Amino acid sequence: MRLKTIRQYRIMVVALSIAGSDPIGGAGIQADLKAFASLGVHGTTVITAITSQNTQHVIDVLPVPQEHVLSQLDAVLDDAKVAAAKTGMLYSPGIAKTVAKRFKSIDFPLVVDPVLVAGVGDPLSSGDLVAVLRKELMPIASLVTPNRNEAEELAGIKIRSIPDARKACKRISDLGAGAVLLKGGHFEGPDVRDLLFIDGEFTEVHGPRVDIKSHGAGCHLAAYITAHLAKGVGLQEAVVLARGNINDAMSMSYSVGKGLKIVHSLATMERDLLRYPVLVALDEAVTVLEGMLTREWIPEVGINFAYALPRARYYEDICAIKGRIVGVGNQARHVGCLGFGASRHVARIVLAAMHYDPEMRSALNLKYGEDNLSKLKAAGLEIASFERENEPGGVRTMEWGTASAIKNAGKVPDVIFDRGGVGKEPMIRVLGRDPFDVLEKVDPALQLR
């Protein structure tokens, strides 16, 4: 049994992308391969068209002969154990029919991204491709991932409202698709709300709206979903995970040309690689802080110390102490190890501060007292505050209070304090770019007697 398990680890999960080639490297086959690799999946490919495009225009398209599309499919499917596949740019009705016919007997998930137009607005289809997608591809698709315009074409209706979007999903599902993900990027609103229709039920999958028009976002989302499916993740969970991946990728978009930015395929992997150095830095800072503290700086609830990943959005992006730093005799000691998602209180402070200044990624809380506050002022720190009695209903105190203090100060200050309220201990919070920046700010004050 042990030897069998070891052998299984040697087998790489394989996914297949059937799409066009993008010479600028931001969409199509090139994007799919990078997205697969970022999630630890080996990518195989079938090229349907060779495009001449960049971040500004689609200049020319050379469709691959149908017989060669089929021979590519046979070469991959007859050799590799494909766990999931996706289609992107199929370009012509003939190519779409060839792919659909070969996939009639597959026993793995197929994600159909019905690409009709490039992100720059130029067409990536010819003839009556939509009719073939409707008749041939929808019935064998495990999931279809249209944007608003593509959904209108497939459903045959105009989408002007959420009820229209739901109607379009049902119509596409009626064509035979296992599930429909109507992407929310082309709809207005403060955040992106993808609409997932699966097993007769609707689910909204939310993500932050990134104010960047990127090249290859749709390709990446479908590729991330396909990679998760290949790894055995359920469909709904794969969609949710992929939304997180594309949020990372779009927030880290970069320029290689004069037009649209390129989606950063490896963004999630890069962020994960940073978890270890973030944890190590915070661990070292906690040890140093314990040697600096005296009992008059430790609040009744204890001290927590947090450090966020770059571009953090969730509690799970922030490393903190699972317990607290507490007083033990005349010394300070942390109870509990460090972990991501360990703090809500200090994490909310960090997330609120990063909204105004993404570089302010660390914070800790200290005991409030007029003497302590005076020492921090004497250390030359910029100090702001908020009053809990002014807190409106329906908000979280730390998010509202931190934002309120920052707005009043006109910037993210070094220190934010409040004098407490009914059942709420008054508190001082110190913010910085990283844990050692925080320590450098508090050190002069801690040395004052």
The residue out of 268, 292, 313 marking a domain boundary is 268
The residue out of 268, 283, 298 marking a domain boundary is 268
The stretch 327-342 carries a mean pLDDT of: 90
The stretch 102-119 carries a mean pLDDT of: 92
What the block records as the tokens of 376 is 């921090």
The stretch 353-368 carries a mean pLDDT of: 96
Q: Does position 239 have pLDDT exceeding 70, yes or no?
A: yes
pLDDT in tens, 257-294: 999 999 999 998 888 899 999 999 999 999 999 999 99
Q: Does position 6 have pLDDT exceeding 50, yes or no?
A: no
Find the CATH number of the domain harbouring 188.
3.40.1190.20
Task: Please calculate the CA angle 79-81-85 and round it to the nearest 5 degrees.
Answer: 110
Query: Do 365 and 391 reside in the same domain of the chain?
Result: yes
Query: Do 383 and 441 reside in the same domain of the chain?
Result: yes
Closest CA to 65 of 53, 56, 57, 73: 73
Find the CATH number of the domain harbouring 425.
3.40.225.10
Closest CA to 81 of 157, 179, 14, 5: 14
Mean pLDDT of the chain: 92
Query: Do 290 and 314 reside in the same domain of the chain?
Result: yes
| pLDDT for position 296 | 93
Closest CA to 254 of 222, 220, 215: 215
The stretch 24-53 carries a mean pLDDT of: 96
Query: Do 70 and 142 reside in the same domain of the chain?
Result: yes
Query: Do 321 and 218 reside in the same domain of the chain?
Result: no
Query: Do 261 and 278 reside in the same domain of the chain?
Result: no
What the block records as the tokens of 362 is 């660390």
Q: Does position 389 have pLDDT exceeding 90, yes or no?
A: no
Query: Do 33 and 168 reside in the same domain of the chain?
Result: yes
Helix (H, G, I), strand (E, B) or coil at 407: helix
Query: Do 24 and 164 reside in the same domain of the chain?
Result: yes
pLDDT in tens, 422-447: 888 999 999 999 999 999 999 999 99
Query: Do 234 and 88 reside in the same domain of the chain?
Result: yes
Question: Structural domain of residue 243, as residue ranges?
Answer: 2-268
Number of domains in the chain: 2
Q: Phi first, then psi: what are they for 423, rounded to 5°? A: 75, 10
Which pLDDT band, with edges at 50, 70 and 90, does 214 fall under? confident
Query: Do 301 and 178 reside in the same domain of the chain?
Result: no
- Helices assigned H by DSSP within 357-396: 370-378
Query: Do 225 and 287 reside in the same domain of the chain?
Result: no
Query: Do 247 and 290 reside in the same domain of the chain?
Result: no
The stretch 111-136 carries a mean pLDDT of: 91
The residue out of 268, 299, 316 marking a domain boundary is 268
| pLDDT for position 189 | 66
The stretch 393-412 carries a mean pLDDT of: 91
Q: Does position 1 have pLDDT exceeding 50, yes or no?
A: no
